[in-house]
A and B are shown apart, each in its own frame.
Chain A
Amino acid sequence: MFLSEIKLLLKRRRTEVLFILLLLEPWLLAFLIYQFGGGGGQGPNFLNLVTHNGIFLVLASLSSLLPLLLPLAVSLVSSDAIAGEASNGTLRYLLTAPVSRFKLLVHKMSSSLVFIFVLSVTISLSGLVAGSVFFPVGKVLLLSGQTVSFFHGVLLVLLSALLVGLSLICVVAIGIAISTFTDIPVGATLGTLGAIILSEILDNITQVRGIWPLLPTNYWMSFSDLFRSPIIFSGISKNIVNQVGWLIFAFSIALAKFRFKDITS
C-alpha cells in the first residue's frame, strides 16, 4: 500500500513537472549570479558566498525556495491526499477495497514525507552540480569566518538538505489535515499554502512574539546554523521538536475528522 502510494505519486505527470522545475532552479540561480554577481557582497541568503564557493549555491537555492515554492510544491502533493482521492471518486473504492481509514491516512502521510526528503536532497544534488560547474569549489568558508574541507562542506550541505526536508513536515501534516475537510483539492492546496504564509507573516509581528516558538515556520532557517563554528544546535533541535509536534497535532486533527466522516464523494 505504501509503495503503491509512492508509485501513484511518481506516475503523475504533475509530480514530474514539479520535480524538473525545482531541480532547474539552482541552475537558473547559478546562471544569474554568474552573469550579474552575488548582490554586491551584501546579499542575504548566502548569495554573497556563492561566487566564493559553489557549494553555497545549494544553500542559496534552498533558502530561496523554502519560503514559497517548496511549500507550494509540497502542499500540491499533501493536500491531494484525501481531497484528491475524493474528487477522483477513488476514495470510496479505496475504503471499500477495504483499507482502514487510519491506515490510509498513515500511508498518505508517509508517502508525502518520503516525497519531501527526496525533493530536498535532489534539489541539493542538482545545486551541488550546478555550483561546481559555474563556480570554484574547494575549502568551504563557514559563516563564522573559519574554513573546513570540501568534503566536510558537502556533508554539511547534505545535512542541511535533510533539515530543509524536515522543515517541510508541517506542510505535509497541515495539508493532509486540511484535505480531510474538503473534496476540492485546489481548495486544500490554497488553504495549506495560506496557513504557511500566515505563519510566515505572524513570525514577523512582534505583538504575537509569545506564540512564535509554536509557528511551524519559525525555525525554518535554522539549517544555516550548520554553517557556523561551532554548530549551533538550539534552533535545529527546536525545529525538529516543532515539526514533529505539528505532525502529531495535524495528524490527530486529520484522524478526528476522517475516522467517522461520511464519505459522500
Chain B
Amino acid sequence: MNVMSRTASKRILYSIPVIIGSSALAVALIAPQIATAQTPDLPSVTTTQLVSWISNSHPVPLSGTVTGVTSFPIPSVSALSKNPSASLSGSSSASYNIWENGKGSFRIQSLTTSGETDLYVIPGSVWLWDSSKLTATKEAIANYGSLGVTSSPNPQVTASSIVSKLSRQATLSVSGTTVVAGRPAYTLSISPNAPDSLIGSINISVDAVTHLADQIQVIPKGSATPAASLGFNTVSFSAQPNSIFDFSPPPGVKVVIPKTQKINGSPRPTSSPATQAKPKIVGTGFDAVVVAHIPTKALSRDGALLKVLHQVSTSQGTAYEYSNPIFQALILPNGTIVAGSVSTSRLIKVIGTL
C-alpha cells in the first residue's frame, strides 16, 4: 500500500467514530425536539366533537408512563428551609407508571433506583406498598383521597374536569394536531376570557384513535412554551392482566392499618389545628381566588424563607409575594394567604374586600 492510500484509509478509519459520535449526539439532543414538533395530517374535527370526546369518555384498559413537568420548581418544605433561594429556581418533573383495567382497578408505581412505591387499587381494596420501608398500608376505599388521588390520575380524568369546570368562561378552539407518546392527537385550546388571568391557554391533546385526552399543557399569557404539563410519555391501550393489580401483603413485611379505618369510614380528622378557618373562594373559574389563613407562628418560623420573596404593599400591610408564570400568592403579616392564577393587582383588589 502506498503512502497516499494509507493516508486515505487512515482518514476513513477516523471518520467512523466521528460519524458515530456526532450522530448519537444529534439523536440525543435534537430528536426529542423533532418528535414534539410533528403535526400529523388528520381528518378535521370540530371543537364540539373534541369537547364531547373529552367529557363523554369511558375508562379503558391501558398502561403507560405519565410525566408532569413545570418550568418552575415545586419545592418541598424541607428543601426550602435549607436553601430558599436555590430551591426557587429551576424546574421540576415527576413521573409514574400507571395501569388501568377499565373496570375501576388501577395501579400507580413510582420508581427509585432500587425500590418503588405502589398504590394498588381494586374495587373494595386499596394498598399502599413501600419497598424501601417494607411496609404495606391498607387504606379505606373512601379515604384514599387523602393520598391526593381521588381516581386514576391519568390525563383524561384531569382533562374532563378542566373542560367541565372552565370551558364556560373560556374560548374553545381546535388548535391543530400533534404527537403525544408517539401517537397522533388533536389539540383543543381553552383560552380564558377573564382579563386578569395569568393563563394564556390550556391545551388538551386528544388521542386521534381512542379519543382519550393524553396531554394537558398550561401556557402562560404572552408565552409560547408551556409552564406546566401533564401527559403520557408512553402509553398502550391494551387489556391488562389481573395479576398487575393484585396485592396482598407478602409474609414478613410490616402491615399498617391506619386508626381512622376503625372509625368505620368516617372522615379522617384534618391534620391542621381546629382553630384554622376554612379556605374561602372568591370568584369563579379562571378568576377564582383562594383566601386561606395560616397561623402567624408558622410565618415567623419560616422567616428565612419569606425574606427571599418580593414585598408588595396592600391595604392590609406589606405582603410577601410568591409568583410563578401561572400562579400568584400574597402572604399578609396576619397569616392570610390570597392566591390564584391571576395578576397581582387582582389579588390586591381581593385583599381590599376582606
Contacts from A to B (Cβ < 8 Å): 41-42, 44-46, 48-49, 52, 59, 63, 139, 141, 143-147, 206, 210-211, 213-214, 221, 224, 228-230, 232, 234, 245, 248-249, 252-253, 255-256, 259-260
Question: Whole-angstrom distance between the alpha carbons of A232 and B127 in the complex?
Answer: 21
B105 CB → nearest A CB, Å: 15
Question: Whole-angstrom distance between the alpha carbons of A214 and B30 in the complex?
Answer: 13
Say yes or no: A145 contacts B131, CB within 8 Å: yes
A-B pairs with the 5 shortest C-beta distances? A145-B129, A256-B13, A252-B16, A252-B17, A256-B14
The residue of chain A having its C-beta at the shortest distance from the C-beta of B91 within the complex is: A206
B260 CB → nearest A CB, Å: 22
A148 CB → nearest B CB, Å: 10
Question: Whole-angstrom distance between the alpha carbons of A46 and B131 in the complex?
Answer: 9
A-B contact pairs, 23 of them (CB 8 A): A42-B132, A42-B133, A44-B115, A49-B131, A49-B134, A52-B252, A59-B114, A63-B114, A139-B250, A144-B118, A144-B131, A145-B127, A145-B250, A210-B29, A211-B29, A214-B25, A229-B243, A245-B20, A249-B17, A249-B21, A256-B16, A259-B13, A260-B6
B201 CB → nearest A CB, Å: 27
B114 CB → nearest A CB, Å: 5
Question: Whole-angstrom distance between the alpha carbons of A66 and B115 in the complex?
Answer: 17
Question: Whole-angstrom distance between the alpha carbons of A32 and B141 in the complex?
Answer: 42
B116 within 8 A of A: yes
Contacts of A221 in B (CB 8 A): 113-114
Report if A146-B29 is in contact (Cβ < 8 Å); known contacts: A44-B114, A256-B10: no
Say yes or no: A141 contacts B252, CB within 8 Å: yes
B336 within 8 A of A: no
Task: Provide the B90-102 mask, 1 if CB < 8 A to any CB of A, else 0.
Answer: 1000000100000
Task: Provide the B234-254 mask, 1 if CB < 8 A to any CB of A, else 0.
Answer: 100000000110110111110
Question: Whole-angstrom distance between the alpha carbons of A252 and B23 in the complex?
Answer: 14
Additional 18 contacts, C-beta under 8 A, given A44-B132, A52-B134: A44-B113, A49-B131, A144-B109, A144-B116, A144-B118, A144-B131, A145-B127, A145-B129, A145-B247, A146-B243, A206-B90, A228-B109, A232-B97, A232-B111, A245-B24, A256-B10, A256-B17, A260-B10
Question: Whole-angstrom distance between the alpha carbons of A141 and B133 in the complex?
Answer: 13
Question: Whole-angstrom distance between the alpha carbons of A63 and B114 in the complex?
Answer: 9
B136 within 8 A of A: yes
The residue of chain B having its C-beta at the shortest distance from the C-beta of A147 within the complex is: B250
Task: Provide the B50-94 mask, 1 if CB < 8 A to any CB of A, else 0.
Answer: 000000000000000000000000000000000000000010000
A34 CB → nearest B CB, Å: 17
The residue of chain A having its C-beta at the shortest distance from the C-beta of B112 within the complex is: A44
Which residues of chain B in 247-266 are interfacial with respect to chain A, using CB atoms and an 8 Å cutoff? 247, 249-253
Residue in A145, A232, A249, A255 whose beta carbon sits within 8 Å of that of B24 in the complex: A249
Say yes or no: A143 contacts B131, CB within 8 Å: yes
Contacts of A41 in B (CB 8 A): 132-134
Contacts of A146 in B (CB 8 A): 243, 246-247, 250
Contacts from B to A (Cβ < 8 Å): 6, 9-10, 13-14, 16-17, 20-21, 24-25, 28-29, 90, 97, 109, 111, 113-116, 118, 120, 127, 129, 131-134, 136, 234, 243-244, 246-247, 249-253
Say yes or no: A259 contacts B10, CB within 8 Å: yes
A254 CB → nearest B CB, Å: 9
Report if A143-B114 is in contact (Cβ < 8 Å); known contacts: A42-B133, A52-B252: yes
Question: Whole-angstrom distance between the alpha carbons of A209 and B17 in the complex?
Answer: 23
The residue of chain B having its C-beta at the shortest distance from the C-beta of A59 within the complex is: B114
Contacts of B244 in A (CB 8 A): 229-230
Question: Whole-angstrom distance between the alpha carbons of A10 and B328 in the complex?
Answer: 67
Question: Whole-angstrom distance between the alpha carbons of A125 and B133 in the complex?
Answer: 27
The residue of chain B having its C-beta at the shortest distance from the C-beta of A42 within the complex is: B132
Contacts of B9 in A (CB 8 A): 259-260
Contacts of A256 in B (CB 8 A): 10, 13-14, 16-17
Say yes or no: B132 contacts A145, CB within 8 Å: no
Say yes or no: A211 contacts B21, CB within 8 Å: no
Contacts of A214 in B (CB 8 A): 24-25, 28
Say yes or no: A228 contacts B20, CB within 8 Å: no
Question: Whole-angstrom distance between the alpha carbons of A256 and B14 in the complex?
Answer: 5
Question: Whole-angstrom distance between the alpha carbons of A249 and B17 in the complex?
Answer: 5
Question: Whole-angstrom distance between the alpha carbons of A256 and B127 in the complex?
Answer: 57
Contacts of B133 in A (CB 8 A): 41-42
B171 CB → nearest A CB, Å: 36
Say yes or no: A141 contacts B253, CB within 8 Å: yes
Most chain B beta-carbon contacts within 10 A, residue among A139, A144, A214: A144
Say yes or no: A48 contacts B13, CB within 8 Å: no
B134 CB → nearest A CB, Å: 6
The residue of chain B having its C-beta at the shortest distance from the C-beta of A249 within the complex is: B20
Question: Whole-angstrom distance between the alpha carbons of A132 and B307 in the complex?
Answer: 57
Contacts of A49 in B (CB 8 A): 131, 134
Most chain A beta-carbon contacts within 10 A, residue among B14, B120, B131: B131
Most chain A beta-carbon contacts within 10 A, residue among B21, B120, B252: B252
Contacts of B17 in A (CB 8 A): 249, 252-253, 256
B221 CB → nearest A CB, Å: 28
Question: Whole-angstrom distance between the alpha carbons of A221 and B112 in the complex?
Answer: 10
